[in-house]
Structure 1
Amino acid sequence: GADEETALAAMAAAAHPGEGGEPDPAALAVLAETAEYLGAGFADLINLFQPERILVGGWAGLLLGTRFLAAVEEHARAYALAYPAARVTLGMSALGPDAVTVGAAILPLADFFDRGGRREEPGPVEEAPAWAENVRERTAR
Structure 2
Amino acid sequence: AKTLGQAEMWFGAGRGASSAVVVLFGSGVGACVTTDPIGPGRALEWGHLKVSVRGRLCRCGARGCLEAYAGAEALLARWREAGGRPPHGADEETALAAFVAAAYPGDGATADPAAVAVLEETAEYLGAGFADLVNLFQPERILVGGWAGLLLGTRFLAAVEEHARAYALAYPAARVTMGMGLLGPEAVTVGAAILPLADFFARGGRREESGPVGEAPAWAETVRERAAR
TM-score by length of 1: 0.86
**Percent of aligned positions that are identical:** 83
Aligned counterpart, 1:3:
91
2:173 corresponds to which letter in structure 1?
Answer: A
Aligned counterpart, 2:141:
53
Q: Which has the higher helix share?
A: 1
Partner residue of 2:127 out of 35, 39, 51: 39
Residue 54 of structure 1 aligns to a residue whose secondary structure is strand
Q: 1:3 to 1:126 in 2, by over 3 A?
A: same
Q: Deviations over 1:20-71 (max 9, x none)?
A: 3110000001111111111111110000000011111111111111110110
1:27 corresponds to which letter in structure 2?
Answer: A
Residue 68 of structure 1 aligns to a residue whose secondary structure is helix
CA distance in 2, matches of 1:71, 1:99: 24
Alignment of 1:70-109 (within 5 A): 70-109=158-197
Q: 1:125 to 1:73 in 2, by over 3 A?
A: same
Alignment of 1:24-35 (within 5 A): 24-35=112-123
Q: CA RMSD in A?
A: 2.2
Partner residue of 1:62 out of 150, 170, 175: 150
CA distance in 2, matches of 1:50, 1:113: 25
Q: Which has the higher strand share?
A: 2
CA distance in 1, matches of 2:183, 2:166: 28
1:87 corresponds to which letter in structure 2?
Answer: R
Unaligned runs of 5+ in 1: none
Q: 1:27 to 1:119 in 2, by over 3 A?
A: same
Between Structure 1 and Structure 2, how many residues are aligned?
136
Residue 182 of structure 2 aligns to a residue whose secondary structure is coil
Larger Rg: 1
TM-score by length of 2: 0.55
CA distance in 2, matches of 1:71, 1:43: 13
Shift of 1:2: 3.5
Aligned counterpart, 1:123:
211
Residue 123 of structure 1 aligns to a residue whose secondary structure is coil
Runs of 4+ in 1 over 6 A off after TM superposition: none
CA distance in 1, matches of 2:104, 2:164: 23
Partner residue of 1:12 out of 95, 100, 110: 100
CA distance in 2, matches of 1:5, 1:32: 20
Unaligned runs of 5+ in 2: 1-88
